[in-house]
Every structure is written in structure tokens, then in C-alpha cells.
Amino acid sequence: MPVQIEIRDRIAVVTIDNPPVNAMSRAVRQGLSDAITQTEANPEITAVVVTCAGRTFVAGADIREFGKPPQEPHLPDLLDRIEGARKPWIAAIHGNALGGGLELAMACRFRLASATARLGLPEVTLGLIPGAGGTVRLPRLVPSDKALEMIATGRPISANIAHRVGLIDAITSGDLLTTALELAHQADTVSPTLSRPVRSETSAGSLNAQIANIQTRTEGQAAPEAAILALRNALTLPPTDALKKERDLFLSLKDGPQSGAMRHIFFAERATLQSIRETLADPLPVQRVGIVGGGTMGAGIAAACLLAGIAVSLVERDTEAARAGANRVTAILDNSLKRGKLTKATHNERLEAFHAGDQLLSLADADLVIEAVFEDISVKKDVLAQLDHIVRPETVLATNTSYLDVSAIAASTQHPERVIGLHFFAPAHIMKLLEIVTPKGLSARTLSTGVTLAKQLGKIPVLAGVCDGFIANRMMSAYRREAEYMLEDGALPWQIDHAMESFGFPMGLFRMQDLAGLDISWAMRKRQAATRDPAQRYVEVGDLLCGAGHFGRKTGRGYYVYDDVGTPFPSLEAEALIHAESARKGIDRREISESEIMDRLLTAMQSEGRRILDEGIASSANDIDVVMVNAFGFPRWKGGPMYCSASD
């Protein structure tokens, strides 16, 4: 039974028990409906406490039911009954109260939360808006700017903030249920949420400015626009009308393409390890990580580990380089402190768990060592071969490479079964994706340990087989190649970028390459030149730009030219060079429309994706979508290239 009732001292305790996250499935809704009927009918009961078993309060409606027609009892009706009940309901919140879970809490008379709870309306991240009164009840509890922020960004807030802004009535660090039972005796003095006026301390001007800002940031997405509309309705219409309009908006979004795509990605991100779930066992506990290389990537990985509470020893080639690496790490931690992500005490604790030096021997007691040195296979092989003699026999050795042959790197050690590829994305302490590259012969324990580290770091692990570029960079190479063909065929970099940005990418490919530095991929192309298939079409524009010293943003020139504050303008020089290349190859340039640009890019991604699947490099098309969304900003509300092709 997912909902149980127990009576304690005339108070009914209604416990929802629907692991893992107490999602509001049909069975839970039915259980709650029965609980309302029973508690209303029982004269002995004076109030009701609703609480949850397990690790969290209700984390929302059951998203798995969204593909099916809605089934009674509907959540909005239930919440109306709870709010209108003669026996006041008190929400006792621990863990997360999200979406429908927070809507349940807001329909209660009184909200008590444990100090570590988090509360939010993340529907917008699933292409939805709250559909059970959230947009109408929230601005009656918190100021309308806070309500708008929560509904339109979907970001949860801490119990402390929730208390400060009025979303919850009390916080406890003691026993949640005991406190809720004490408070239940006073709950009938509080008026129901919908009977309260909206909180109007935010001025119309500042709300409009906030709305304009959200609209700019979320262009092309239906849910934030609907969230704004729903909030405006809540602020201006009688509650019953606003509720009806909210429900209509919710239902039309739920059946729309963007929510379908975002739900696809939500589940795909959680299913990336499905194919190996059974084999994951007995990981080596990772408490101390060694990192070789303190450049941007090594420092980012070190910071990611420290932020996750893992001790780090960083090694560089000499003391000066070690000091520079340590400074990079410290700067990231300082920034986290400044932005309120770390308390002063935790910041100090993390710094104490960090050591930087120039001796590989200092990594002897590490549980896992990640090399993040220069992207050159002989340098990487050398580092791993040395580490092999230094670390304990069970220590896992990881190479952070974005495309090199991990099997060959593993073979440079005496124990290749303990070598794994961990491909982080820059900035490593922020980007959620981690490609876990699995060379043949890898031991189950090494794989489990790599996966466990990914989880400890809060990353989304995606498994990739060994090949040049794994999943991410192979996909990127394929659509970059197509984009370069289009340069010669008739399009210009800014037209391609505009098409991608209109599709929903945060930044077009050429602007992104300028930002990353054109010299990086140039160096890679030079290394690959000897093995390149001479029959394959090759576009030299990037090489020619680099040859002229135009490395992108950092030299002020690339595909674009940049002014002092970094604003990009189309580069006439790049344009002339592109035209000259078309002419040299005898290509008759023609107009290429934005829709053709996007069609060609998507087709290139999908064809490469299918090859990656055929070769067994990725274990599912969903993993490829997860990579494209999390590594390259493919718009989440379009679900990823493989999803786009399946839903065409």
C-alpha cells in the first residue's frame, strides 16, 4: 500500500511510501483520496500530517504516466479537497518537495521542513509548468518575483530560503514527525493558501524586467513562456480562473513535442548504465585521488573532486608548474565560496584536503589516479607506465583523453586491466558529462570504480568503446566536417552559426571553435595528417586561418574578428579566404538556406550516430543524445539528434 494512515493522539499521520522518490502515481493519488475521505469522516481526528517514507518527500507527479491519458483521481482535484478539508493538513517535508510534491505541500495549511530539505517546481525542465495549482498558490505564499523565478527556471531552493521567503512556516533540525504532531494542534488557525491575496511587493516594472530577461534566455522554449503567462494569470485573475488556465496550459505542454523530448532526455540521463547495471559490483572506495597535470583540465578535475569531498594530490613536472596548478584549483574553490556554493568552513576543509607537488611518488597511497597531461599518446603512456610502479596494486589508473587509443595507453602498463579512460569536459568542475572509455580487458572492479567516482562527482556517466574521439568528439568531428563542406559550398560561418543558434544551440560551431582556440584542433589535424584518407574531402580553411596566426578569440581573429570586449563581427578576411578556397576547388558557390544547413548538420550527426552504434562504441542511441545535449549544447527540448531522427 503506497499510502498508510495511523492515528496518534487524535492526529492522522498519512505516510506516502512509493520508492524511490515517492512520485505521485495513480496508486498514490488513490491512496491520498481514500485518506481524505477517511480522515474527514472520522470524528476522532482533528488534523492530518502528511509525510513520506524513505529518502524524500514527494518528488513530483509520476513522469512515467505522462505518455498515457490522465487517470482519476486527478491531482488538482485531490489538492482542492485537501485545502478545503475540515481537518487541517500539515506537510512534514524532508529530502525534496518537487513539482506535484510541493504543490501538495502548498495545498496544506502548514508546511514544516527539515533543515536539509529542498523545495522547487522543476516542471519547466521537463518542458512543463506546474499543473496542480503551483502557479496559483506559490505567489500567495512568496513574493511574485520569487514565484516567477522558481516557476520559470525550475531551480529548487533550500529550506532556509524557503522559510525566509514564506514558502514554509517552520524548520526543524529535530525529529520531523514529532515536531509536525506538536504543530498540528495549532494548524486550524491558518487560512487556506488560495484564500490569501497574492503577495504584491514586487513592482510591475521590476517584474516586467525579470520577464524580459527570462524570455531572452529561454528563446524557442514553450514552457518558460507558458510559466510567465500562468503567473500573470495568477496575479490578475480570480484563483478558480487562474487554476483552470494553468491546467489547460499544462495539458497542452504535456502533449507537445518539447516536453516529450525533455522527458526522453530525463530518463536517458538516468539509464546510461543500464547495459552494465548487473555487472557493477565491489568498487574500490575512492577517498584519495591523484591527478597528474595541473593545466585547465587537471585543475578542473581536481576542483570537481575536492568539491565532492574527495582528497586530491596534484602532481606537475616542477614546483613552479605545481604552484600554478594549485593556484588554478584554489581560484575555482574561492569562486565557489564567493558564489555561496561552499561555506567558509567547508572551503577550508577542502583546501586542507588538497596537496600539490612535483613528485609522482606522492601518489603512492591514491585510490585512483587520473592523468591529465598533454594530449600526446607517448607522454600519456610514459606517465601511466611510471605510475604503474608507484601506486598500490589495486589502484585504478585513468587517462583523461578526448580521442586517443585508451587500449594502447593501457598496454603501456603491467596491469592493463586497471586502466580506464575518463574523458572530462571543460570546465571539468561544471560540465555534467563524463565519458567512461572501456578498453578491452578492463576489469569489472576498475569499471565499477570509475562509475562510482562519476556518481560521487555528480556526473552523468556515459560508456564509450575505444575509437578515435569516442562518442563525443566523433559526433563533433562529423558535424564540423559537414559544416566545413558547407563553407566551401556556399554558406558563411555566421550563417551556419545563426542557423544553429536559431535551432537552439547556445552558440554556433564557428564561434565555439574561435572561443576554444583554433590552434588546438589544428595541432590535432597536423598529427592525423599522415593517416588521413587522401580520397576524403578535406577543407583547409581552418588550417589556413591558423597558418596566418588567427587562432580565434585569443588572438582577436579567427572565423570572426573581436573587439576589445570580445564582441564578434564577421571576418572579411575569413570570408575572402573561404571564397578563394571554393574557387580553387572549382566549387560553384550557391545560397544554402538555414533549414538546409540544419538538415545537413542533423543528417551528419545521425549518420555518425548510427555508425557509432553499429561499431558498438555507444550502447544505445539514447546515450548519444545524452552526450550531444550535455557536451555540445544540443537543445534539450529537441531531445538529441537520434531522438529527432526517430520522431521525424
What residue ranges bind ligand 3H9 (CB under 6 A)?
Answer: 20-21, 23, 59-64, 75, 96, 98-100, 103, 122-123, 126, 128, 130-132, 134, 267, 270
What is the amino acid identity at position 185?
Answer: H
**Which of 122/325 has CB closer to ligand 3H9?**
122
Q: How far is the CB of 187 from ligand 3H9 (least distance, A)?
A: 24
Closest of 154, 144, 129 to residue 236, by C-alpha: 144
User: What is the rounded distance in angstroms from the CA atom of residue 52 to the CA atom of residue 112?
Assistant: 13
**Which of 131/416 has CB closer to ligand 3H9?**
131
User: What is the rounded distance in angstroms from the CA atom of residue 333 to the CA atom of residue 348?
Assistant: 10
Residues 6+ apart with CB under 8 A from 189: none
User: What is the rounded distance in angstroms from the CA atom of residue 220 to the CA atom of residue 596?
Assistant: 19
Phi-psi region of 556 (alpha: psi -120 to 50; beta: other; left: phi over 0): left
Q: What is the 3-state secondary structure (H, E, C) of 272-288?
A: CCHHHHHHCCCCCCCCE
Kind of pairing, strands 433-437 and 460-464? parallel
**Which of 273/496 has CB closer to ligand 3H9?**
273
Q: How far is the CB of 339 from ligand 3H9 (least distance, A)?
A: 21
Q: How far is the CB of 483 from ligand 3H9 (least distance, A)?
A: 34
Alpha-carbon torsion, ordered 445, 447, 449, 454, to 10 deg: -170
CA 201 to chain centre: 33
The residues pairing with 12 across neighbouring beta strands, listed in sequence order, are 7, 48
Residues 6+ apart with CB under 8 A from 493: 487, 508, 510, 511, 559, 560, 570, 574, 578
DSSP 13: E
Q: How far is the CB of 598 from ligand 3H9 (least distance, A)?
A: 29
**Which of 62/497 has CB closer to ligand 3H9?**
62
User: What is the rounded distance in angstroms from the CA atom of residue 360 to the CA atom of residue 378?
Assistant: 17
Q: How far is the CB of 154 from ligand 3H9 (least distance, A)?
A: 8
Q: How far is the CB of 74 from ligand 3H9 (least distance, A)?
A: 7
Looking at the chain, how many residues does it have? Answer: 648
Closest of 593, 562, 589, 595 to residue 576, by C-alpha: 589
Q: How far is the CB of 343 from ligand 3H9 (least distance, A)?
A: 22
User: What is the rounded distance in angstroms from the CA atom of residue 379 to the CA atom of residue 366?
Assistant: 21
User: What is the rounded distance in angstroms from the CA atom of residue 49 to the CA atom of residue 58?
Assistant: 14
CA 529 to chain centre: 36
Q: How far is the CB of 29 from ligand 3H9 (least distance, A)?
A: 9
**Which of 135/571 has CB closer to ligand 3H9?**
135
**Which of 75/314 has CB closer to ligand 3H9?**
75
Residue 152 exposure: Cα atoms within 13 Å on the Cβ side = 28
What is the amino acid identity at position 270?
Answer: R
Q: How far is the CB of 617 from ligand 3H9 (least distance, A)?
A: 23
Catalytic (active-site) positions: 103, 123
**Cell digits of residue 81:** 479537497
Q: How far is the CB of 638 from ligand 3H9 (least distance, A)?
A: 19
- The CA–CA distances, whole Å, from 546 to 259, 349, 514 equal 42, 44, 11
Question: Across the chain, how many H-helices and E-strands are there?
Answer: 26, 19
**Which of 242/383 has CB closer to ligand 3H9?**
242
**Which of 11/82 has CB closer to ligand 3H9?**
82
**Which of 20/205 has CB closer to ligand 3H9?**
20
**Which of 130/293 has CB closer to ligand 3H9?**
130
User: What is the rounded distance in angstroms from the CA atom of residue 274 to the CA atom of residue 278?
Assistant: 8
Long-range CB contact pairs, 317-320, < 8 A, 24+: 317/358, 318/358, 319/357, 319/358
**Which of 302/451 has CB closer to ligand 3H9?**
451
Neighbours of 109 (CB within 10 A): 24
Q: How far is the CB of 76 from ligand 3H9 (least distance, A)?
A: 6
Long-range CB contact pairs, 183-186, < 8 A, 24+: 183/90, 183/110, 183/112, 184/11, 184/46, 184/47, 184/48, 184/49, 184/88, 184/90, 184/110, 185/11, 185/46, 185/47, 186/110
